[in-house]
Structure 1
Amino acid sequence: MVKKSKSTGDSKVLSAAPTEHPQHIGIVAHDPYLEPFEDAIRGRHDHVAWKISQLTNHGKETLSDFANGYQYYGLHRIPRGWVFREWAPNATDIYLVGDFNNWTESEQYRCKRIPNTGNWELRLPVRAMKHGDLFKMHVKWNGGQGERIPAWATRVVQDEKTKIFSAQVWAPKKAYQWKVNSFCPSKDPLLIYECHIGMAQDAEKVGTYTEFKDKVLPRIVKDGYNCMQVMAIQEHPYYGSFGYHVSSFFAPSSRFGTPEELKALIDAAHEQGIAVIMDIVHSHAVKNEVEGLGNLAGDPNQYFYPGDRHEHPAWDSLCFDYGKDDVIHFLLSNCKYWLNEFHFDGFRFDGVTSMLYYSHGLGEAFTNYGDYFNGHEDDNAICYLTMANKLIHEVNPSAVTIAEEVSGMPGLAARYEDGGYGFDYRLAMNIPDYWIKTIKEKRDEDWKPSSIFWEVKNRRADEETISYCESHDQALVGDKTIIFRLIDADMYWHFKRGDENERVRRGIALHKMIRLVTLGAINGGYLNFMGNEFGHPEWIDFPREGNGWSYKYARRQWNLVDNPDLDYHFLGDFDREMLRVIKSEPKFNLTPVQEIWHNDGDQILAFERGNLVFVFNFSPTRSYTDYGFLVKEGSYRVVLNTDAKCFGGYGFADDSVEHFTNPDPLYAKDHKGWLKLYIPARSAVVLRKCE
C-alpha cells in the first residue's frame, strides 16, 4: 500500500505574545516576535495583492469570475449539441475517440486549435455522442502521441475487466434537484467526522455514496458531529493511495457511484444539519500519464515544476507549478467547481507543508521563527493558497477551510487583511504526535498534567485550530491507533463485558480521558476518524498485491459497537455524551480555557470553560477524597464522568450528589470558594455550575 509521508518537522507552534502594536500588520501586531520578519510578511501579502490584480484585470472582475474554467473547458452539452475544449499548448493535433466512433480517429471528431492560445476546441451535433459513452483524447505532439483522459473530465470510470480508465459522457436528462440550496455550517464548535466512503461498510468491498447516506450518515447524526470531512473524492487510479494520488481533479470517484449519488449524500447531510467538507489534494498529482496530467501533450512540465522540483521526493508524485497562471486557473477553478456543482461546504487542504517549502518540509526542525523566513519558502505556493482561501470565501462566505500543516508557519490561519493566508483553521498536528509519544515512552506514573495541558492548548493566539487525538494517519498499516497502543492483542480476547483484564480496563479509561482533555481545550474544532470514537480494532490496509487484494482491513466493523455484549459500545456511548456536554455550553469556542489547578505529583489537572469545570486524575493508582479546587462560588452538578458504569467504568463516585463550594474569607471578594471532590484513580469528571 502507498502510505502518504508526512513532514518530520517539529509540530510545536510558538505562542503569540499578548502585546499589540497597531502600527504593524495584523499578525505582527498580535505577535511582536514576528517584527524582524515583517518585511517578508508584507512582501508575501503584496505578492498576493499584485497577482489578484493581474488575474482580475486590475479589479474589474473578481477571483470568482477568473475561476470559471470548469464552465469553459471539458465536455459540455449545449442547446445545439456538444462543445469540448482542452488546454494543451504543446499538442499538434487532438482527436476524440470513443464508443461513438469505434475508438478510431475521424475528421468529425478532430479538435481545432484556437488561434493565439494553447486551447483546442471541438463542436459536435447532438447525435455525435450520448450520455454514457466512453471516450478519450488521442493527442499528438512533435515526436510522439498517446491516448489521454481530458484534464477537465467530470466523469471517469474504470473497466472492471481491463482496469483501463476512460472519460465518460455525463449528461443525464434530468439534473439533480437540490432539496437544500443554502446551508450554513455550525462552527460552535466544529465537530468533524473524518470518513472514507469506500471503507465505511461492514462488508469486505468498496462502499458506495448511497450506502454511506443510508447506513453511516445516521450514525454521524446520532453521535452528535456537525461536519463530515470526506476523503478520496477526486478520482484516483489506485484505491490503496487513500485518494492522495489524484488523476482527475474534477471527477468524483466513480468507484463509489455516480455524481448524482454524491450530491444526494451531501443534500441528505445538509437536511440533517451536517456540513460536508472535502479532503482536497492540490499539493501534488499522480505521475500516471494515460489517466493523469503527467504528460498530457508531450510536455511533462505543462502543469508541473521543471527540473529538480518536478517530482516529490517522498510521495512518488508530481508537484504543481504554482507560478503559472494557467495552473492557478486550473486549481482555483477546481475549488469553485466542488463548491458550486456539489455544494461542498469547504475543504481540508492536504499536504500544505509540502507546498510551502522547497524542501517540502522534509527533515527540517522548524525550531524558531527564522526557519519560516529564510528563503526556502515557495512564494508561488503561498500566493496560491492565499488566493484559494479568498476565492472560496468569496464564493461561499460561510465555507470552512482547514490546513494540514505540520511546520507551524505563522499566519496560516490568520486573515488575509492581517497578513495571513486566510485559512479558517489549521490542524493541531502536535497533539496526536504527543499522545503517541506519551503512550509509547512514558509509564502511567510519569504522565504529567502540566505537559498534557500545555500540549492540548499549544497554539497561536490569533489562529483557530482543529484538535484531534488521531486521524486516518494513525490507523494505517505501520502505525497504531490509540486503542491498539493501549490494549493491543488483548482486544481480541478480553473485550467482552465482564471478561476485561487490567490492561483492557486501563485502555478503556485512558481512551476516554485522552479524548476528553483534547476536546475540552479546543479553540476551534475537533476531529475524529471514522470508527476511532468506539475504539475500532486493527489497522487500515487497502487491497494490494501484498495482502492478496483483500478488503478485510479496508472496512469498518459497525457490528462491534452495535453489540451490547462487547466493550466497544462503552466508548461509542461516551463519545456521544462527551460531544453533547460540549455543545450544551453556549458559544463554547468563545469561552477561555482557564487553568484552575495542576499538580504533577498528584497527577491532577483542572480547568474551566464558561460554566463547565473539567477535572482529571491521571494517576493509575491513587484516588483522592475531598480534593479541593478554588472555583466560582455556588453549586455544581456532575454532567459527565469517565468512570461511570454506563461508560465501562467502576462507578466509584455518586454522580447524583450536588456539590456546594465552601466559603473562604480570603477569596470572598472574588466570589470564589472551595469545591471538594472525590476523584478516583484514572478518571475524569465534568461539572456544570448550577444557575
Structure 2
Amino acid sequence: MTAIDETFATRAEPEAGTARHADVPGSGTAGQPPSVHPDAIAALMAANHGDPFAVLGPHRVGPNAWEVRAVLPEARAAALVMDGRTVPFEKRHPDGFYVARIAGEHRPLYEIEVESWDGTKRRRYDPYGFGSSIEQYDVASLREVGTNLVYRMLGAQSGQLDGIDGFRFAVWAPNARKVSVVGDFNDWDGRRHPMRLWQDGGIWELFVPGLKAGVRYKFEIRGPDGSLVPLKADPVAFAAQHPPETASVTHGSGEFDWRDSGWMSTRGAKDPRHAAISVYEVHLGSWARVPEEGNRYLTYRELAERLIPYVKDMGFTHIEMLPITEFPFDGSWGYQPVSLFAPTSRFGTPEDFAAFVDAAHEAGIGVLLDWVPGHFPLDAHGLGLFDGTHLYEHADPRQGFHQDWGTYIYNFGRTEVATFLAANARFWLEHYHLDGLRVDAVASMLYLDYSRRQGEWIPNRYGGNENLDAIDFLRKTNEATYSHAPGTITVAEESTSWPGVSHPTYTGGLGFGFKWNMGWMHDTLHFMQEDPIHRRYHHHNLTFGLLYAFSENFILPLSHDEVVHGKGSLLGKMPGDRWQKFANLRAYYGFMWGHPGKKLLFMGGEFGQEREWNHDHSLDWHHLDDPLHKGVQSVVRDLNRLYVSTPALYSRDVEHTGFQWLVADDQDNSVIAWARKGAKPGEVAIVVSNFTPVPREGYRIGVPQAGFYREAFNSDAGVYGGSNLGNQGGRHTDDQASHGQKQSLSLTLPPLATMIFLLEG
C-alpha cells in the first residue's frame, strides 16, 4: 500500500573526527579508552543523554577488540550473542548499564539476549549496532517545499537495515536536548531507545530492529532547558490510536492491491474546469450509523458497500469527506487534526481507508478530502511546543494563536513547516489516490488581521495585512500538487474578495483549481428565505452573483456550515406552508444546478432533512417514507443525471461565453431565465425559475436559437410532489422577437418552480 517501505541502505558509523552528531567529551567514542565517563552513564540512566551513539553499541577499543554497551533496565542478566557464541555482559550501573568485550577485526553484527526478572529470555538485535540509514542530502532536501521526502524519511518507516527487518523512526525536533522513542516495545521507558541527532537538520533518528506493525509509540523529548515535554505523537505517523487514546501506531509494510489503475491512468488527461463536477459532502461518522450495535460508526469498508453505491445512484461525481486526518475531539468534525498523515482509526485501518477510495474509483466516483493546513489544536500530545519551543507555530500569539477557534496557527514562514504541510498535501493525493483537496479556512491564512482588532496583529514588512508567508506556502503547495498529481484539484474555502484565488501562480494567482462561491451561497439563501411576496425587493440577490461568476473557477456550495450552529436545515430555511417549503427547495436546487459553477451539497440536503445536522446522530433516513422527501431526493438525482449528460450545463462553467442572460429584470414576478451554451453548436439549455407561488401562463422568453425545446426538468412535476403544471414535454419557438432575440418561447411557468429546457434537432 505504501511507497514508504524500503530496504534502507547500510550506513557505517562515521570514523572518529567525522561524526555528524554532537560528541560528549570522555564518553567513549571510537578510538578513546574503553572506560565510559561516569557522567555519561548517569546521563543515559536518567534519559538525559543527547548523543547515545557516542556511548552505546559497539566501539573499537583496540586493533582487534570491541566493547559493546547497552542500557537494559529490564534485565536481571544479559549476554551478547554472535557467531554461535555467547559473551556475558557485565553490569556497570545498578539501573542497568551493561558492557561486554569481544574480539574481532570488523564491526560486529550481534544480538542481545536479555533475561528478565521473571526468568524469561528474549533475544533481539541492538539498535545501536546499526549505522544511520539517512543520507546528508536527504536531510538537506527536507527544506524544499513540495518534496515528498517528509513522508518517505520521517515518521516510522518499515524496512530492512543490514538485512534485518524493523522500523526506522525519524522526527524533526531541532531544539531538543534529547529525544527517545517510547512505546509498548520498551515499556515506555525513555532510557531504552534514545535517538541520534543530525545537528545540521535537527532530525533525530533510530532504527529499531525486529519491531512489528501495530505497536503504539510516542516521542519523549527534553526541551532546550532540559525539562521533559509531554509525550508527543509522531507528526508523520501513518496510523494512530482510536481517540481518546493518543499514541501513534507503527503502520507496517506491504503494497495495497489497488484496482484503480484505469482511473489513475486517465485522471491526468481530464480538465476539471470543463468537466461535470457535482460533489456530495459527507461527514463519515454521521451519514449512517448502526443503532442496534450501540449506535456505532460504519467502518470504511461498510461505507464502501453502502455510501458509494448511494452516491453513484444519486448521480454525484465526487464524494468530499469532512477531515479524516486523525483528530482528538469528535465535536471538531475533524477540523482540529493532530496526525495529518493518519486516516482516523474511528472507521478502521489505513488499509480499510484505501479500500474505500479504491471502491469509489471502481464506481467512477472521485474522492476529495477537506484538508486543514491553517491551524491545529493545543492538545498536549500534538504539535504545540513540540520540542519545548514554538516549533510549528508562531511564538507571538498575535501571529500564532487563533482566537476564534482556540488553536495554534502554523508558522508558514519556517521552511520546514511549509515543507511538512505541502508534503502532506502530496501524500493524500499520491499515497491514497485521492482526487483533490478542499483547503479549509483559506481567508484566515491570507489575512494577518483575520478576526482581530487593531493592536492584536502584526503588519507584514510592507505594512499591510496580507500574510506573505501563507501566500507563498499556498502557491508552492498548489504548484507541487498539480505538478506531481495531475488531474487532481485543489479547492479554496475563501470567503473574501481576494483576487486570483483560482488563477495560475504565474499570473500572480494563488494557484487553486477552484474556489467556493460563498457570496453566491449567502445571497441566494437570503433570497430564498424571504416570503415570496417580498422577494421582488431582493431580486438582486439572484442576479448579483452573475456579475463576477467568471472571475474565478467557482464551486457553488451548500455545505455543512449552512446547517449547523442554530442555522437550521435547508428545508427549514424555506418559507411558507409544508408544500411551499418543499416546492421552494426543489426550485432552488433546479436554479443551482442550472447556474454556472460546479455543485456541492451536504448530506441530508438531498432529501430535505428537516432538523439541523448533528454529528452525533445518523441522518434521518426515515424521512424517505414521506413522498415529499422522496420527491426532493428524486429532484437531486434527476438534476445530477441531467447535468452530467448535458455539456451545455457544465462544459463552459468558467467562461462567460457559455452564459447568456434572457430574463434578468423581472423582479415584480420573481422570474429569472438564462441560456447555458456548450462548446458545440446546438448545445443549448434554457433555465427558467419562477420564485412566486403564482402560475404564469403564456410567459414569453426570447431564446438564442430556433427549434424545439424539450422540457428536460420541471421541479413542479407530480413525481416530485409538485402540482404537475408544465409544458406538455416542450415547446417550439415562435418567430416573435423577445428579450433581444429573434425567436421566443411561450411557456407555462409552474408556481415556485425551476424548469430546464434542452434544444433538440
Could you say which residue in structure 2 is the equivalent of 1:338?
A: 428
Could you say which residue in structure 1 is the equivalent of 2:742?
A: 672
Of 180, 198, 201, 1:117 maps to 201
Q: Residue 175 in 1 paired to residue 258 in 2?
A: no
* Contact 1:99-1:133 at 8 Å conserved across structures: yes
**Counterpart secondary structure, 1:82:** strand
Could you say which residue in structure 2 is the equivalent of 1:226?
A: 317
Q: Give the residue type in structure 2 aligned to 1:396.
A: A
Could you say which residue in structure 1 is the equivalent of 2:660?
A: 594
Q: Residue 635 in 1 paired to residue 720 in 2?
A: no
1:594–1:448 CA distance, 2 compared to 1 (3 A): farther
Could you say which residue in structure 2 is the equivalent of 1:577?
A: 638
Of 531, 540, 548, 2:604 maps to 531
Q: For the residues of structure 1 that align with 2:629 and 2:195, how far apart are their CA atoms?
A: 59
Give runs of aligned pairs for residues 101-116 of structure 1, distance below 5 A: 101-107=186-192, 109-116=193-200
* Contact 2:145-2:477 at 8 Å conserved across structures: no
Give runs of aligned pairs for residues 261-340 of structure 1, distance below 5 A: 261-290=352-381, 292-340=382-430
* Contact 2:148-2:423 at 8 Å conserved across structures: yes
* Contact 2:442-2:494 at 8 Å conserved across structures: yes
* Contact 1:202-1:557 at 8 Å conserved across structures: no
Q: Give the residue type in structure 2 aligned to 1:116.
A: D
* Contact 1:186-1:226 at 8 Å conserved across structures: no
Of 408, 421, 437, 1:347 maps to 437
Q: For the residues of structure 2 that align with 1:411 and 1:144, how far apart are their CA atoms?
A: 47
Q: Residue 517 in 1 paired to residue 591 in 2?
A: yes
Q: For the residues of structure 2 that align with 1:92 and 1:570, how far apart are their CA atoms?
A: 65
Of 257, 267, 281, 1:194 maps to 281
Could you say which residue in structure 2 is the equivalent of 1:33?
A: none
Could you say which residue in structure 1 is the equivalent of 2:674?
A: 607
Q: Give the residue type in structure 1 aligned to 2:628.
A: D
* Contact 1:74-1:84 at 8 Å conserved across structures: yes
Could you say which residue in structure 2 is the equivalent of 1:83?
A: 168
Greater strand share, structure number: 2
User: What displacement does 1:413 show?
Assistant: 0.6
TM-score by length of 2: 0.73
Q: For the residues of structure 2 that align with 1:378 and 1:402, how far apart are their CA atoms?
A: 19
* Contact 1:64-1:336 at 8 Å conserved across structures: no
* Contact 1:199-1:205 at 8 Å conserved across structures: no
* Contact 2:426-2:485 at 8 Å conserved across structures: no
1:357–1:65 CA distance, 2 compared to 1 (3 A): closer
User: What displacement does 1:418 show?
Assistant: 1.4
Task: Answer with 441-450 or 94-103: which moved more.
Answer: 441-450
Q: For the residues of structure 1 that align with 2:378 and 2:662, how far apart are their CA atoms?
A: 53
**Counterpart secondary structure, 2:610:** coil
Of 387, 394, 399, 2:476 maps to 387
User: What displacement does 1:571 show?
Assistant: 0.1
RMSD over aligned Cα atoms:
2.6
Of 145, 151, 157, 1:70 maps to 151
* Contact 2:627-2:721 at 8 Å conserved across structures: no
Residue-by-residue CA offset, 1:500-520 (whole Å, 9 max, x unaligned): xx6111111110111221221
User: What displacement does 1:667 show?
Assistant: 8.4
User: What displacement does 1:581 show?
Assistant: 1.7
Greater helix share, structure number: 1
Q: Residue 154 in 1 paired to residue 238 in 2?
A: yes
* Contact 1:353-1:361 at 8 Å conserved across structures: no
1:515–1:589 CA distance, 2 compared to 1 (3 A): same
Q: For the residues of structure 2 that align with 1:559 and 1:153, how far apart are their CA atoms?
A: 40
**Counterpart secondary structure, 1:595:** strand
* Contact 1:522-1:589 at 8 Å conserved across structures: no
Q: Residue 623 in 1 paired to residue 713 in 2?
A: no
Q: Give the residue type in structure 1 aligned to 2:425.
A: C
Q: For the residues of structure 2 that align with 1:68 and 1:402, how far apart are their CA atoms?
A: 24
* Contact 2:702-2:741 at 8 Å conserved across structures: no
Unaligned runs of 5+ in 1: 1-55, 365-372, 488-501, 543-550
Q: Residue 375 in 1 paired to residue 458 in 2?
A: no
* Contact 2:659-2:676 at 8 Å conserved across structures: yes
Could you say which residue in structure 1 is the equivalent of 2:219?
A: 137
Q: Residue 409 in 1 paired to residue 498 in 2?
A: yes
Q: Give the residue type in structure 1 aligned to 2:442.
A: V
TM-score by length of 1: 0.80
Q: For the residues of structure 1 that align with 2:278 and 2:717, how far apart are their CA atoms?
A: 24
Specify the structure having the higher radius of gyration (Cα).
2
User: What displacement does 1:308 show?
Assistant: 2.0
Task: Answer with 219-228 or 478-487: which moved more.
Answer: 478-487
Q: Percent identity between the aligned chains? A: 26
Of 231, 234, 244, 2:335 maps to 244
Unaligned runs of 5+ in 2: 1-136, 455-461, 678-683
Residue-by-residue CA offset, 1:102-153 (whole Å, 9 max, x unaligned): 222333x111112333110111212xx2211111111112242131111111
User: What displacement does 1:438 show?
Assistant: 2.8
* Contact 1:634-1:689 at 8 Å conserved across structures: yes
Q: Residue 659 in 1 paired to residue 737 in 2?
A: no
**Counterpart secondary structure, 1:132:** coil
User: What displacement does 1:442 show?
Assistant: 5.0
* Contact 1:229-1:279 at 8 Å conserved across structures: yes
Q: For the residues of structure 1 that align with 2:205 and 2:187, how far apart are their CA atoms?
A: 21
Q: Residue 556 in 1 paired to residue 619 in 2?
A: yes
Could you say which residue in structure 2 is the equivalent of 1:50?
A: none
Q: For the residues of structure 1 that align with 2:722 and 2:435, how far apart are their CA atoms?
A: 38
Residue-by-residue CA offset, 1:208-245 (whole Å, 9 max, x unaligned): 21121111111111111111111121111001101111
Aligned length, in residue pairs: 587
* Contact 1:191-1:226 at 8 Å conserved across structures: yes
1:74–1:89 CA distance, 2 compared to 1 (3 A): same
Residue-by-residue CA offset, 1:548-579 (whole Å, 9 max, x unaligned): xxx3xx32233433x3x442110000111112
* Contact 1:596-1:630 at 8 Å conserved across structures: yes
Residue-by-residue CA offset, 1:464-485 (whole Å, 9 max, x unaligned): 10013x2100121322222012
Higher relative contact order (CA 8 A, sep 6+): 1
1:213–1:559 CA distance, 2 compared to 1 (3 A): farther
Could you say which residue in structure 1 is the equivalent of 2:66?
A: none
**Counterpart secondary structure, 2:297:** coil
Q: Give the residue type in structure 2 aligned to 1:320.
A: Y
Residue-by-residue CA offset, 1:403-454 (whole Å, 9 max, x unaligned): 0000120011111121111101100011222244334455544246842442
Could you say which residue in structure 1 is the equivalent of 2:98?
A: none
